[in-house]
Structure 1
Amino acid sequence: MSAVARSLFGRRARLRWIHLILGGALAMPYVLVGSVVIGPVIGSADVFGSLPLQLASFAVGLPLAAVTSLFPLTRPLESAAVRWLCGVDTDRLALGPARTRGEKGRTAAWFTLHLGFGGIIAGMSLALPPFAATLIVLPVLSGLLGSRLGLPEVFDHAWVLALAPVAGAVGLVALAGCAAGCGALLARWAPLLLGPTPRERLAAAEARAADLAVRNRLARELHDCVGHALSAVTLQASAARRVLDSDPEFVREALAAIEDTTRRTVGELDSVLGVLREGDAPGTAPAPTLAADLDGLLRRTRAGGQRVSATVDADPEALPPLLSREAYRIVQEGLSNALKHAGERAAVDVRIAVADGELEITVENPVTGPAPSRAGGGHGLRGIADRARLLGGTATAGPAVTAAGETAAPRPGSTSTAGPAAPRTWRLHARLPMKGPV
């Protein structure tokens, strides 16, 4: 019983009732225009004094409403009203103006239905409640005023007078039922008539995909540049603190590396965040590449005490700019992982070579304790895999040599291994086509 009451008088039903009343209000100008047409044709000066003439005026006005629905703002306004008052999800509605013939036809059909149902429910809402209220209080008024009410003869029967309040209550419930039914029908038809077409859905999906791609790219750039900088600066500051009194020259080199790292990272961060600041010009700092900053990246990493050996059997200057930039980020993330997991002064081996038309990047470092693992981590390795995939290449990360000395092939996307026989060497290996799909 409560479910029925909610469907008739609940908040959703009341909002849909308001939506219908708004449709009735919008229909009034068209009804007035229809009455101007019907009056001279019928030869009646009092069109609104006759219910049939009112309905005829209403029927003439609805086609006019369909024509005016071609106004560009009709569909956005109707979609907004349906979203707020009828409870239809935003993604099921088209928020832009109707452009094609089919879209305009569906908008015209919706507008006609909204005004048609709204005009009927609005008229019932104006006429039925006063009449029903009169029936409900009629026995009381009859007892107080008697014959002075001038009631029809049918009310002379006691049983008719006794049923009058019931009839009034039933009339109000019937009005609520009609409003709820019409509101439910309009809510059901709204996605069909106001919803996006396949072309619009495709355009929206492409826009969301483009936005997601930009967000993912920005997330990768922020993770790589800021994450590497923080790892490097932390290691450099820690090493400088330990030898502050015994090796001033090393401290000076570490502080210079910290200054260089933070200055470069601020420039990169400004360049990345410039994309997010709508209306602002993007940062002017160029994205780092192997050709521009590989030596600097290795030097800053070594300044923290890390022993990094690099073998470069490729000409960074000859690499395409996009490939050089993505390869730089892969090397940077490999060094960041080594800084986090290899331990202090551990040996890190970086190899960059060209083979079979592909740029091969390998970063190997020992692992002290369990293999790399952290709750919610692995974003850097996923970022490397994304970069390689976008260039048409592959990337693997995982154990290279087990504790027993046996070779274990890296697994794509692998981020952790645990147990007493944890691998002691971690290998990152990426293969990037020299001429990728990008």
Structure 2
Amino acid sequence: MRFLAALFGRRARLRWLHLIIGGALLMPYFLVGTVLVGMAGGGEQLFSSLPAQFVAFGLALPMAAVTGFFALVRPLSVAAARALCGVPPAVLADGPARTRQARVRTAGWYTLHLALGGIISGATLALPPFAVAVIALPFFAGLRETWLLDGPEALREPWALALAPFAGLAMLLALALAAAVAGEVLARRAPVLLGPTPEDRLAAAERRAADLAVRNRLARELHDSVGHALSAVTLQAGAARRVLDRDPEFVREALTAIEETTRRTVGELDSVLGLLRQDGEPDEEGTAHGPGLDALGGLLAHCGVPVAYEREGDAEDPGVVDPVVAREAYRIVQEGLSNALRHGGGDAASPVRLLIAVRERERERERERERELMIVMENPLGERPAVARPGGGRGLRGIAERAVLLGGRAEAGPYDGVWRLTARLPLTTAEATGTADRAEGRR
């Protein structure tokens, strides 16, 4: 039963159909080859000459191979192989063949498909009628007289006629076996010839990396803006609830801070969601969205923790700090404040200290000096360890990612009894590109 299923089961029938399609695709090339053979031989007995047909078949295959170099042949072949050959879809490539290697492989597959399909299709058309006639020989006298009129005398013997039905069945079985073997050959070669090339895998990896970069950027924006706002609102609401009966003025200030924080966060959320409403085109890192350093005043005034803010240089001057750098700096400060709210021990006696300065530093292995934006934030360490949140712990990693993407660096950790966050960023995106290029050159 398993043998018969392998020859006549659903998968075998689909593969047989796939081979017949290959034979149909071969016909135009075969006809051109027939014309060429006829022109060379004078056209005498062209269709009755078996050698001439084989020569035409041999001429058709190179023409089919040339067609296989067209880019759109691969997606059509892949679609047919997935539907009819029983090949797992994941092992086949998607899209047109763009590279030379992909086109060579596609041409090889196309030629193999048409060659095997032509042979199996020809046998499918010619062999079954002949086999049925052989099976019917013992039962129809007129058929015997017509077929065996010029045949050898041995075929007229009773034992030969008795074996004729078995010979006919053997012919049909051999045809099914040949179709099954040809279909298996195509199915085994499909992942090699229609599968992704190294260039295809590299392009797919680049697309996945680009998608992940966009997702990570959106995750950072939402984490820093919404996460900070929720932390601030939660702490302010909790403090207001505890002193609701004793200090109404503090409650009014807390409610005002909650209102300002949520209003500002709604605007930031609209800016972040705007990245998703660009008709499928991902926003580039070089485009500034969201608040910059000039919006720090509103952030610090309603962040829920006292902040001692110091400035050095012209860090808030839009003409000095690139808007993209200013945006990332704002997010770094915002995340630092969120960490201070959740994990720190800040109060009026020991506020959070924030320093933003524009300073010069000497380039590594060079004598030139360049200016950079430095952010230093310190807050007291909490008396109790912070409670780990499910899915939390991404804030510091997000800060490091922001700094690295700009060509800077960031670090955070305990230092002299406080928690210190330090970030150094180039002032402009051009300097960021130069810093990244120099780092790549050193590697």
Same fold (TM over 0.5): yes
- TM superposition shift of 1:148: 5.2
Q: Secondary structure at the match of 1:364?
A: strand
Gaps of 5+ in 2: 149-153, 362-371, 437-443
Q: Secondary structure at the match of 2:384?
A: coil
1:81 aligns with 2:84: no
- TM superposition shift of 1:9: 5.5
- TM superposition shift of 1:297: 1.2
Alignment of 1:183-332 (within 5 A): 183-190=183-190, 193-194=193-194, 198-244=198-244, 246-279=246-279, 286-289=289-292, 291-302=293-304, 306-313=305-312, 315-317=314-316, 318-332=320-334
Q: Secondary structure at the match of 2:354?
A: strand
Alpha carbons 1:338, 1:348 under 8 Å: kept: no
Alignment of 1:19-168 (within 5 A): 19-39=18-38, 41-42=40-41, 47-49=46-48, 51-86=50-85, 87=87, 89=89, 92-93=92-93, 95-98=95-98, 104-129=103-128, 142=138, 145=139, 147=141, 149-150=143-144, 153-154=154-155, 156-158=157-159, 161=162, 164-165=165-166, 167=167
- TM superposition shift of 1:268: 2.3
Q: Secondary structure at the match of 1:277?
A: coil
Alpha carbons 2:261, 2:303 under 8 Å: kept: no
In the alignment, the residues of structure 1 paired with residue 99 and residue 92 of structure 2 have an alpha-carbon distance, to the nearest angstrom, of 18
Q: Secondary structure at the match of 2:279?
A: coil
Alpha carbons 1:335, 1:363 under 8 Å: kept: no
Corresponding residue for residue 395 of structure 2: 380
- TM superposition shift of 1:428: 3.7
Change (3 A) 1:19 1:369: farther
Alpha carbons 1:268, 1:285 under 8 Å: kept: no
For each residue in 1:303-350, what CA deviation from the matched residue of structure 2 results, as whole angstroms up to 9, or x when unmatched? Answer: xxx334444445422444333322221221122223333479685523
- TM superposition shift of 1:301: 0.9
Change (3 A) 1:397 1:169: farther
Give the share of equivalent positions with the same residue, in percent.
Answer: 55
Q: Structure 1 residues 324-333 or 388-397, which shifts more? A: 388-397
Alpha carbons 2:19, 2:113 under 8 Å: kept: yes
Alpha carbons 1:349, 1:363 under 8 Å: kept: yes
Corresponding residue for residue 413 of structure 1: none
In the alignment, the residues of structure 2 paired with residue 11 and residue 397 of structure 1 have an alpha-carbon distance, to the nearest angstrom, of 63
**Residue 401 of structure 2 aligns to which amino acid in structure 1?**
D
**Residue 369 of structure 1 aligns to which amino acid in structure 2?**
R
Q: 2:337 aligns with which of 335, 338, 341?
A: 335
**Residue 383 of structure 1 aligns to which amino acid in structure 2?**
G
Change (3 A) 1:222 1:74: same
In the alignment, the residues of structure 2 paired with residue 83 and residue 277 of structure 1 have an alpha-carbon distance, to the nearest angstrom, of 35
**Residue 396 of structure 2 aligns to which amino acid in structure 1?**
L
Q: Structure 1 residues 327-336 or 79-88, which shifts more? A: 79-88
In the alignment, the residues of structure 1 paired with residue 311 and residue 168 of structure 2 have an alpha-carbon distance, to the nearest angstrom, of 92
For each residue in 1:231-253, what CA deviation from the matched residue of structure 2 results, as whole angstroms up to 9, or x when unmatched? Answer: 22233333344444544443343
In the alignment, the residues of structure 2 paired with residue 226 and residue 428 of structure 1 have an alpha-carbon distance, to the nearest angstrom, of 20
In the alignment, the residues of structure 2 paired with residue 343 and residue 158 of structure 1 have an alpha-carbon distance, to the nearest angstrom, of 105
Corresponding residue for residue 365 of structure 2: none
In the alignment, the residues of structure 2 paired with residue 70 and residue 375 of structure 1 have an alpha-carbon distance, to the nearest angstrom, of 53
- TM superposition shift of 1:194: 4.5
Alpha carbons 1:75, 1:98 under 8 Å: kept: no
Q: Structure 1 residues 178-187 or 274-283, which shifts more? A: 274-283
Change (3 A) 1:261 1:176: farther
Alpha carbons 1:314, 1:352 under 8 Å: kept: no
Change (3 A) 1:22 1:269: farther
Q: Structure 1 residues 15-24 or 194-203, which shifts more? A: 194-203
In the alignment, the residues of structure 2 paired with residue 399 and residue 155 of structure 1 have an alpha-carbon distance, to the nearest angstrom, of 104
In the alignment, the residues of structure 2 paired with residue 292 and residue 251 of structure 1 have an alpha-carbon distance, to the nearest angstrom, of 28
Q: Structure 1 residues 209-218 or 219-228, which shifts more? A: 209-218
Alpha carbons 1:221, 1:272 under 8 Å: kept: yes
In the alignment, the residues of structure 2 paired with residue 390 and residue 364 of structure 1 have an alpha-carbon distance, to the nearest angstrom, of 26
In the alignment, the residues of structure 2 paired with residue 201 and residue 120 of structure 1 have an alpha-carbon distance, to the nearest angstrom, of 34
For each residue in 1:172-194, what CA deviation from the matched residue of structure 2 results, as whole angstroms up to 9, or x when unmatched? Answer: 55434433433343344445544
Corresponding residue for residue 423 of structure 2: 430
Corresponding residue for residue 350 of structure 1: 353
In the alignment, the residues of structure 2 paired with residue 381 and residue 249 of structure 1 have an alpha-carbon distance, to the nearest angstrom, of 35
Alpha carbons 2:342, 2:386 under 8 Å: kept: no
**Residue 221 of structure 2 aligns to which amino acid in structure 1?**
E
